């Protein structure tokens, strides 16, 4: 299996290489791709050194699959060129997510929507992935009417520059700023740019992507996304209104049986998910499951996942695994 990783030298690209190794994806030849300035450098994968090549060179090497994590403009330019050469692209940017001709996939939720003809497959936004993994079984059983979500997102979602800003501030060092404001000892209630409706792009991604992945435009979603000074994962406070009645213990039991979800929910022992515990793990953790006492058929919960893993790299590799199992690569 020849595998190209486009954006191999970035934060998510490096995580892709780690996840491919850990999950033992059958890579016989790695083709690391990065910008022209990185061509010729080397990356380490499974104990070997692999030379970084340009996108053009990668296409000529005919990989079976290309996992993109190099930003929207790169994906818009290069994904169609890879696809035209018969290479399956799994794209981690926002470029193709809402394109009606492209599938937006979380394998455990809607992997069955994929076909051999899908040559550009979109990986959803990190915050959306961890939420829909929990929503899916609940929607099937209780039918979701409305979701209110507030996120508490790690600086790793912004990239190396943001991690550096946080660590510099912790040490009292002045340096390059990824954000308009300090992030240490602060929270910033803005992720991505503001749109005309007063919501940020990140918030509207959660609204629109959830409906597309769940295959139900009737689900109402409203989001507030916030950047906080942590590393290790994104957290979400989620309020879910159902059409049908439920029991809290049934919700807990249903989620405990859901592949990829781990329930950590024992208030008597102060057990609940935290980003430090999700760090470098592939599962989505859920806790603080409790009835909303202000209105009927509504539940509150707390959802945590490592945004660089299940929120990005792991989900992309799982899509590749699904395609490989179907012999479509």
Say if residue 146's pLDDT is above 90.
Answer: yes
- Residues designated as active site: 126, 234
User: What is the rounded average pLDDT of the residues 261-286?
Assistant: 97
User: What is the rounded average pLDDT of the residues 7-24?
Assistant: 95
Given this model, what pLDDT does residue 233 score? 96
230 known member of a binding site: no
pLDDT band at 272 (very low <50, low <70, confident <90, very high): very high
User: What is the rounded average pLDDT of the residues 242-256?
Assistant: 98
12 known member of a binding site: yes
DSSP 23-56: TT---SEEEEE--GGGTT-EEEETTEEEE-B-HH
110 known member of a binding site: no
Say if residue 132's pLDDT is above 90.
Answer: yes
Given this model, what pLDDT does residue 281 score? 97
Say if residue 164's pLDDT is above 90.
Answer: yes
Given this model, what pLDDT does residue 147 score? 99
pLDDT digits (tens, 9 = 90+) for 39-80: 999 999 999 999 999 999 999 999 999 999 999 999 999 999
d(CA 260, CA 18): 19
Average pLDDT, the chain: 97
d(CA 100, CA 33): 28
Say if residue 240's pLDDT is above 90.
Answer: yes
DSSP 88-108: EEEE-SSSSTT-TTSEE--HH
Given this model, what pLDDT does residue 232 score? 86
Q: Which two tokens stand for residue 277?
A: 């515990």
153 known member of a binding site: yes
9 known member of a binding site: yes
Given this model, what pLDDT does residue 19 score? 97
pLDDT band at 225 (very low <50, low <70, confident <90, very high): very high
38 known member of a binding site: yes
pLDDT band at 241 (very low <50, low <70, confident <90, very high): very high
Cβ count within 10 A of residue 36: 8
97 known member of a binding site: yes
Say if residue 3's pLDDT is above 90.
Answer: yes
Q: Name all domains of the chain by residue range, CATH numbers in brackets.
A: 2-124+312-325 (3.40.50.720), 127-307 (3.30.360.10)
Cβ count within 10 A of residue 62: 13
Say if residue 11's pLDDT is above 90.
Answer: no
User: What is the rounded average pLDDT of the residues 165-189?
Assistant: 98
Name the percent of the chain lying above pLDDT 70. Answer: 100
pLDDT digits (tens, 9 = 90+) for 73-107: 999 999 999 999 999 999 999 999 999 999 999 99
């Amino acid at each position: 299996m020849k595998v190209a990783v486009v954006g191999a030298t970035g934060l998510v690209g490096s995580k892709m290489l780690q996840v491919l190794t850990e999950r033992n994806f059958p890579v016989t030849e790695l083709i690391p791709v990065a910008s022209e300035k990185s061509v010729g450098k080397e990356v380490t994968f499974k104990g070997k050194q692999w030379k970084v090549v340009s996108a053009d060179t990668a296409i000529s090497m005919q990989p079976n699959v290309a996992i993109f994590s190099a930003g929207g403009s790169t994906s818009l330019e290069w994904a169609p060129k890879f696809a035209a050469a018969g290479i399956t692209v799994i794209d981690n940017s926002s470029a193709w997510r809402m394109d009606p001709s492209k599938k937006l996939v979380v394998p455990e939720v809607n992997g069955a929507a994929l076909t051999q003809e899908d040559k550009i497959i979109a990986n959803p936004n990190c915050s959306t992935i961890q939420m829909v993994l929990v929503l899916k079984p609940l929607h099937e059983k209780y039918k979701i009417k409305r979701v209110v979500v507030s996120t508490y997102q790690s600086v790793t979602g912004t990239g190396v520059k943001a991690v550096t800003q946080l660590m510099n501030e912790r040490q009292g060092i002045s340096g390059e700023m990824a954000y308009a404001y300090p992030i240490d000892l602060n929270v910033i209630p803005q992720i991505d740019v503001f749109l005309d409706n007063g919501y940020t792009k990140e918030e509207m991604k959660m609204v629109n992507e959830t409906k597309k992945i769940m295959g139900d435009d009737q689900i109402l979603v409203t989001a507030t996304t916030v950047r906080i000074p942590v590393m290790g994962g994104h957290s979400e406070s989620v309020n879910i209104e159902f059409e049908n009645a439920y029991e809290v213990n049934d919700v807990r039991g249903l989620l405990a049986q859901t592949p990829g979800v781990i329930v950590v929910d024992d208030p008597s022992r102060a057990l609940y998910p935290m980003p430090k515990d999700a760090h470098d793990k592939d599962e989505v953790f859920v806790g603080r499951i409790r009835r909303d006492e202000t209105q009927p058929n509504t539940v509150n919960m707390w959802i945590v996942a490592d945004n660089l893993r299940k929120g990005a790299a792991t989900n992309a590799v799982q899509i590749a695994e699904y395609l490989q199992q179907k012999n479509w690569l």
